[in-house]
Amino acid sequence: MRILLLGKDGQVGSELQRTLAPLGELVAWDIGELNLSQAKLIGEAVRSVQPDIIINPAAYTAVDRAESEPDLARAVNAEAPGVLAEEAQRLGAVLIHFSTDYVFDGAKGAPYTEDDVPNPINTYGHTKLEGEKVVQQVGGPHLILRTSWVYSMRFDSFPTKVLRWARKQQVIRIVEDQVSCPTWSRMLAEITALLLAKAGTDVVTWLGERSGVYHLAGEGSASRLEWAKAVLRFDPRREEQIVEEVHPARSEDFPTPARRPECSALKCDRFRRVFGLGLPTWEESLRLAVEEEL
Ligand SMILES: NC(=O)c1ccc[n+]([C@@H]2O[C@H](COP(=O)([O-])OP(=O)(O)OC[C@H]3O[C@@H](n4cnc5c(N)ncnc54)[C@H](OP(=O)(O)O)[C@@H]3O)[C@@H](O)[C@H]2O)c1
């Protein structure tokens, strides 16, 4: 089985490099090997690998910057997945493509299922939704895995920022009007590899028969404030924290170029039902992540 992984240096991609390695011959690229904003380069590059599986966690993920660079965000998040889907179909391969909770507007007030109608409220969300649609339109074997609030303890992510603030400031303020599902990049990479192992030898047919959109994120949901408090609670070096007060704030207290949905939590029942696999609760993953990585 030959696997082509794109975005190998990102939060999810760097973990996938490890979890996919035992499953077959892995070719792992990032922007240095193939710039996904240049659609015309993609086809030939993919054909040179002849993969059975293409896994694409590569994306333009700078949510605020996307507001001023919509063309670049669109090239990477919408056009590139379309070309990858076409090449996968031509080669008889399956495409596993990652997407986001930010395809939703957050107004539902409850976790979203795959049947809810997306309505993005920022450029990043629009481009990711366009990417989903184009993969579906091509119609080859594909899984679109929508995840949310991805973090890695080895990157500048929300938990690592919270720990840094807590060691420098006595008071920190965190928004409480944004709710979603914190998702550890390592768990996401583990479950992706488990899914491929479970698919068996005819992975393209098995996954192809189950093509579609799936929600896959840490079980349960939290506000950013609850997430931050859990990070501080699980911190194995709590004695280094000088923070005394963690105050709730509103999104409008920290104006950003891109709007964020209020509640974009994802309900992941479909993935569990179809594949018999699921991610642990966001708190359990966070506990393992914080303890292991520090
Ligand atoms: N992070 C989140 O909170 C979050 C939430 C929901 C969904 N997701 C989705 O989950 C997936 C993985 O996210 P992540 O957090 O692992 O993202 P990430 O850490 O930003 O990784 C994305 C990778 O893609 C690479 N990339 C960017 N532009 C590229 C280009 N033009 N050509 C080739 N590679 C390019 C990035 O390289 P550079 O670092 O050099 O740009 C990076 O290595 C993405 O589909 C994302 O939309 C993420």
Longest dimension (CA), the chain: 58
Answer whether 261 contacts ligand 1 (Cβ < 6 A).
no
Please answer whether residues 183 and 150 qualify as being in contact, where contact means their C-beta atoms are separated by less than 8 angstroms: yes
Looking at the annotation, which residues are catalytic?
124
Do residues 121 and 261 touch, judged by C-beta distance below 8 A?
A: yes
Give the pLDDT score at 221. 98
Q: Which pLDDT score is estimated for 292?
A: 76
Which residue in the block uniquely carries the two structure tokens 């997430």?
227
Ligand 1, residue 76: give the atom nearest the CA.
31
Tokens of 42: 């993609």
Q: What is the pLDDT along the chain (294 residues), one digit of tens a residue?
A: 999 999 999 999 999 999 999 999 999 999 999 999 999 999 999 999 999 999 999 999 999 999 999 999 999 999 999 999 999 999 999 999 999 999 999 999 999 999 999 999 999 999 999 999 999 999 999 999 999 999 999 999 999 999 999 999 999 999 999 999 999 999 999 999 999 999 988 999 999 999 999 999 999 999 999 999 999 999 999 999 999 999 999 999 999 999 999 999 999 999 999 999 999 999 999 999 998 755
Residue nearest to atom 35 of ligand 1 (CA): 31
Considering the entire predicted model, what is its pTM?
0.97
Integer Cα distance of 1 and 157 in angstroms: 33
Q: 75 C-alpha to center of ligand 1: Å?
A: 13
Q: How far is the CA of 60 from the centre of ligand 1 (A)?
A: 6
Which of 138, 119, 1, 24 has its CA nearest to residue 79?
138
Q: Three-state SS across 135-162?
A: HHHHCCCEEEEEECCEECCCCCCHHHHH
